Structure 1
Amino acid sequence: MRQQPAAIGFLRHDVSGTHQRWDKAQLHQLAKRLGYDLCQTLVLGPETGELIDEVRTAITEAEADAVITPSLDHFDGEIPDPLVEVADLITVTPENTYARWRVPPTPKS
């Protein structure tokens, strides 16, 4: 049993660009401040087939409670519904938490 909740980091190297080291440091700092054990950080890019599937697999393997990312830009500016179904999504900038859904959202009309 873990002493603290687990999280994985996620960033896209094409979005971070030359700031990748800084972004990774920010993920670690926020995870520590919020009390998460940052198990791993995924660094993927547009050459990766299904980014969301890769992140979901990492969540499952790490038994993670959250995904921490520099910003929603790393998810094309949108909250990825398939991720928020299984883990909280936390952004560094702006600092925000998108809590996983206990009940599926109501479909938009």
Structure 2
Amino acid sequence: MRNPHDIIRKPVITEQSMNDMAEGKYTFVVDKRANKTEIKKAIETIFDVSVTKVNTMNMKGKLKRMGVHQGRRANWKKAIVKLSEDSKQIEFFEGM
């Protein structure tokens, strides 16, 4: 297994992700090659919580322009992780 910190890149902090925290759902940017079982094991290892469900989405990078030149931001993968009812909350998101 790869290093869990290589699989979980960073949290996604938006209004929608903050509203989902009330339901025990947390959103992360993850490695594009990671599958659901690797993501589940990485979250459980890093934050010492119990994960019940993992949803993943491949996000397409936005088209950006600078004058007449066009480019595209990098594609990325998003994972929404649902924690079990008896599991504690992730401390990283406390106070946000």
The TM-score with structure 2 as length reference comes to 0.30
Larger Rg: 2
Larger fraction in strand: 2
Please report the TM-score for the alignment, with normalisation by the length of structure 1: 0.28
